[in-house]
Amino acid sequence: MHIELKAGRYYTLVLERCRLYLQLLRGGWKAMIAVYARVSTEEQAKHGFGIAAQIRACQALAQEAQTLVFKDEGVSGETLNRPALEALREQIEQGFVTTVICLDPDRLSRKLLHQLLLTEEWERLGGLISPL
């Protein structure tokens, strides 16, 4: 089963959070794997790895595990202020996500410093990042 959180869809995030809390209360909660995908331009999506292709490749690595999908479309990797990335960071901070799979580290950020900051933040919180 795959659950997709779309950037800018606050209500989806709230509903998903409520579902996770209910699972936790019922004792059926287990940490989830997140898939993060990003393209910044339409041209990149056409001639590179588009969002759908990135998600398929990452979910193949997750195999049958339940995943949360976070995707930023048309958003530059030069900044950390991206709706889906911010939602992902929040889910990691709350302990709902322990593993992040992304196609390539530059999908997280085009800046090496940002990649290192995210990796350090997630490792400090007990998370793991797994680029393909």
> Which residues carry out catalysis?
40
For the chain, report the end-to-end CA distance as a whole number of angstroms. 21
63 φ, ψ (degrees, to nearest 5): 55, -125
Q: How many CA atoms lie within 13 A of 9 on its CB side?
A: 13
Q: How many Cβ atoms sit within 10 Å of the Cβ of residue 40? A: 18
